[in-house]
Structure 1
C-alpha cells in the first residue's frame, strides 16, 4: 500500500471517511468497536441522518454534528470531533445529547417512542484531570448498587492526547481505532495494526483516494490552514498575555489560581465580599465568574 499520512481528525477527512454510505461498513466497525458491541448486540446497519438537528433562533445558532446516524434498532448516535477545547465541553456534550433525544418526539406523541441516544466525543485535548484514561464512558446508574437505571443515556469521551501505544498485539479493537485517530503512530505501527484489523487497513487505504480527489484535498488543506491559524493566534494571545502580565508585575499563574479558588468558593456558597477580601479579586471580577 502506498504510504500517505494525513491528519485523521481533520473535519473534512473524518466526515468523508465515516459519514458516507459507500463505506458505511467502516463506520459500523468504528462504532461497534468504541461501544464494545459484539454478537447479537452489534449494530448491523446504519442510516446517516441530517447533521443539522435544530436551529436555536434566539441566538442565531444551529446545532450541527459531525456524524448523526440511526442504527438498525433505532438507536441514535452522534459523533463529534473537537480539535480545540470549547468552554464547558461537558455541558456542550450533554446539550447535544439532549437535543437528539428530545428531537425524536413531537408534541402529543407518547414517550414510549423515545429510543436510546449514544454520544461519542472525539477530543484532541485533555478534558478530565482526575485520571489518565483516554476513554471514559457515562451512564445513568443507581448511586448504591451501580445498576443502570435508564438505558437511554450513554456518552463517551475519547481524549486523544492521553492515548499511549502499548503492545500492538494486545490492543483491543477500540484502541486500534483510537490509535489511528490519535495521529501518534508511525507508518510502521499503523501497518502492523492494519495487519490484524481489515477495517483499519481500509481506512488507511482510503487516504490515497482522498488525497487524489482534488476537491476533497482542497477542502482538507483549507481546514488544515484554519487549524494552523487558530493555533498560531492562540499562541500569540498567550504570549501577549504573559508579556503584559510581566510588564504590570502580574504572575499569570498566581492570578489563575485566584480565579480557580474564587470559583470553588462560589460553588461552596461563600459570601462574595469574603471571597474578594481573601483572593484580592474585585467584586466585579467575582460577579463575572458567577
Structure 2
C-alpha cells in the first residue's frame, strides 16, 4: 500500500466518522451544518444517535446510516457520504428521511397524537459521481407549490452536495462553506494547513485529521477504509471504460447501465469481504469491523467460519 498523505481523506468511511462522528468533535459538525444552512437554521448543540435503525418489518432488518444526530430543538439530521453511483439514490434518501418521520409516531395504539413531527434533514455528500445534469454543487430541496413557487413544507428537507462540481480554487473561496467544501474534497492532497483556513475550527480539524496522530489500531482502520475507497474507484473506472466500451461496440445501450451497476456492486461486495477478512486477521473486534466495512456482524461471523 502506498504511503498515506499527511492528512486523512474525509470522504472515507473512517475519516468522515473520526472527524464528524464523536462527541469531542461535535463542534466541527455543528460549524459545518450551520455554514450549510446559511442562517436558515442555527444549531447550538447536537446529540449523536445510534446509526442503526430497525426496519418496519422483521424482513427489512436494520437501516444503517453514516451519521444521525438530534439538535437541541429536536431536529433530526442524517448525514451520508456516497462514493458510488446507485440506481434510486434519490429514493433511498427520501426513504431515510421518511423513516425518521414515521418513527416519531407513538407505538402501541396510543390515542390522541396530533402529528406534530419534528424537523428532519437528510444531507448527502457525494464524491466521485454526478448526481444530476446540473453543474451546481449544492442542491437544497424541500416541498414547494409548483404553481406559485412558494414553500409548502420545509421541515423535511434534503441537501445534496456534489463534490465533483465544486471546483473553486483557493483564491476564490468566499465563504466558510466554500472552505468546508474545499477541505472535504482536497484535505488528503494538502501537506499543511493553508493560511486562509487559520480559524480555530479548521485548526482543530487539521490536528485531528493528521495521519501521524492516529494510533496503530486507528491507522489500520483508516488504511482499510482508504483501500476500500481506492477499490471502489478502480471498479468504477473499469466499468466506466472497459465495460462501457464493450457495450457500445455491441450496441447494447440498456446492457451498459445494468452491466456497470451489477459489476460495481459485485466488486464492492467482494472488496468488503476481503477487507473484513484482513481486519479479522489483525484481531479487531466484530463491532469495529462492522462499522469500518459496512457489513452486518452476522455476515462477518460467517467469514470467521470459512
Fold conserved (TM > 0.5)? yes
Match of 1:133 in 2: 136
The structural deviation recorded for 1:62 is: 2.1
> How many residues align structurally?
250
After superposition, residues 65-76 of structure 1 pair within 5 angstroms as: 65-76=65-76
Change (3 A) 1:61 1:237: farther
Change (3 A) 1:53 1:257: closer
CA distance in 2, matches of 1:7, 1:167: 18
Change (3 A) 1:185 1:212: closer
Q: Of 110, 122, 125, which residue of structure 2 is paired with 1:122?
A: 125
Per-residue displacement from partner, 1:62-84 (whole Å, max 9, x unpaired)? 21111101101110011000011
The structural deviation recorded for 1:58 is: 5.6
SS in 2 for 1:63: strand
* Structure 2 unaligned regions, length at least 5: 259-306
SS in 2 for 1:113: coil
Per-residue displacement from partner, 1:104-136 (whole Å, max 9, x unpaired)? 22233614431010110000121011x211011
The structural deviation recorded for 1:256 is: 4.7
SS in 1 for 2:68: strand
Cα contact 1:55–1:63 (8 A) shared by 2: yes
CA distance in 2, matches of 1:167, 1:7: 18
Match of 2:55 in 1: 55
SS in 1 for 2:55: strand
Cα contact 2:139–2:160 (8 A) shared by 1: yes
User: Is 1:151 aligned with 2:151?
Assistant: no
Change (3 A) 1:58 1:214: same
User: Is 1:97 aligned with 2:97?
Assistant: yes
Per-residue displacement from partner, 1:230-257 (whole Å, max 9, x unpaired)? 33334444555357547xx5146xx259
SS in 2 for 1:78: strand
CA distance in 2, matches of 1:189, 1:158: 25
* Structure 1 unaligned regions, length at least 5: 261-290
Q: Of 8, 19, 22, which residue of structure 2 is paired with 1:20?
A: 22
CA distance in 2, matches of 1:99, 1:256: 32
* TM-score, length basis structure 1: 0.76
Select between 67-76 and 199-208 the one with higher mean Cα deviation. 199-208
Q: Which has the larger radius of gyration?
A: 1
